[in-house]
């Protein structure tokens, strides 16, 4: 092969971070010589490289832009409404103090709402914790108290306590108290995506190199132009390593571009 072309210069892909590898891929696509687009194996490798780059970019964007927190205000209000409805329903029976129902309601209200509804004005997580304590008191009170659900269901109707339970469960999920919070974007996903993209770039480079023919000097120009971004990045990496300079972290430049038109 001609001395002007060194295939070994393109045998490896520079080991750089995900952002820099994506930037390399963009350059390889943008600088892909149009005369190579008719080569089916080259086009297939380039499409594979682009697809892998798109997947990696997606994982990187998840890491850079984690989902915003859930607006917990509607869930807070929902729990407030449910507890107030149960309290008002139970409290209405206490007005009938001369009846067995009224007396029973007064006893349950004292056990459950002895401190009133002030807990509904606490900060979100503190309110949820106090609400959770009250539900535990309803279901599993300390001796000698009996569970309060039968009395509440009989006096108020099952709908009211169930509404509290449903609102409390939804509030807990919104706060991340009863379900695992979304995990931070997994580093392995980015590492796996980067590995896949590097493999696709190597495949693309190998197929480009295979087009170079020492018997046809004209074949070298499109090959060297197509792979120039790799050679230039390798030189840049060597310079940074020698000077101890860290790899830059290029900003996201948008979607991976399509292949050039033939």
CB atoms under 10 Å from CB of 262, counted, come to 9
In order, the DSSP letters of 73-89 are HHHHHHHHHHHHHHHHH
Which pLDDT does position 260 carry in this prediction?
Answer: 85
Residue 80 and residue 162 in one domain: yes
Is 148 in contact with 111 (CB distance < 8 Å)? yes
CB atoms under 10 Å from CB of 214, counted, come to 11
Residue 36 and residue 88 in one domain: no
Residue 162 and residue 110 in one domain: yes
Residue 117 and residue 199 in one domain: no
Q: Which domain holds residue 103?
A: 73-175
**Before 144, cis peptide (omega within 30)?**
yes
**Rounded distance between C-alpha atoms, residue 109 and residue 116, angstroms:** 9
**Rounded distance between C-alpha atoms, residue 22 and residue 173, angstroms:** 37
Q: What is the pTM of this model?
A: 0.54
Q: Strand (E) positions, 85-206?
A: none
- Summarised one tens digit per residue, pLDDT across range 23-64 is 999 999 998 888 887 889 999 999 999 999 999 998 888 776
Residue 184 has pLDDT above 60, yes or no: no
Residue 122 and residue 171 in one domain: yes
Residue 170 and residue 212 in one domain: no
- Summarised one tens digit per residue, pLDDT across range 123-144 is 999 999 999 999 999 999 898 8
Is 222 in contact with 33 (CB distance < 8 Å)? yes
Report the DSSP beta bridge partners of residue 216: 213
Helix or strand or coil: residue 12? coil
Report the DSSP beta bridge partners of residue 213: 216
- Summarised one tens digit per residue, pLDDT across range 159-168 is 999 999 999 9
157 sits in the region (left: phi over 0; alpha: psi -120 to 50; else beta) called left
Structural domain count, the chain: 2
Long-range contacts formed by 7-10: CB under 8 A, 24+ apart: 7/209, 7/212, 9/227, 9/230, 9/231, 9/234, 10/205, 10/208, 10/209, 10/227, 10/230, 10/231
């Amino acid at each position: 092969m001609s001395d002007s072309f060194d295939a070994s210069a393109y045998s490896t892909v520079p080991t750089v971070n995900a952002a820099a590898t994506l930037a390399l891929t963009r350059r390889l696509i943008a600088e892909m010589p149009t005369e190579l687009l008719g080569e089916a194996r080259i086009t297939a490798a380039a499409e594979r490289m682009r697809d892998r780059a798109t997947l990696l970019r997606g994982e990187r964007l998840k890491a850079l832009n984690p989902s915003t927190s859930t607006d917990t205000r509607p869930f807070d209000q929902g729990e407030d409404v449910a507890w107030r409805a149960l309290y008002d329903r139970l409290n209405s029976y206490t007005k009938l103090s001369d009846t067995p129902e009224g007396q029973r309601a007064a006893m349950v209200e004292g056990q459950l709402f002895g401190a009133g509804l002030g807990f509904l004005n606490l900060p979100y997580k503190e309110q949820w914790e106090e609400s959770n304590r009250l539900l535990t008191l309803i279901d599993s009170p300390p001796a000698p108290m009996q569970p309060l659900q039968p009395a509440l269901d009989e006096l108020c109707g099952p709908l009211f306590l169930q509404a509290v339970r449903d609102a409390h469960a939804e509030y807990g999920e919104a706060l991340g108290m009863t379900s695992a919070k979304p995990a931070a974007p997994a580093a392995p996903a980015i590492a796996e995506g980067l590995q896949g993209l590097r493999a696709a770039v190597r495949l693309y480079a190998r197929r480009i190199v295979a087009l170079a023919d020492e018997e046809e000097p004209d074949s070298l120009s499109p090959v060297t132009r197509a792979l120039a971004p790799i050679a230039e990045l390798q030189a840049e990496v060597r310079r940074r390593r020698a000077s101890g300079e860290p790899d830059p972290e290029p900003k996201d430049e948008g979607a991976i571009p399509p292949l050039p038109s033939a």
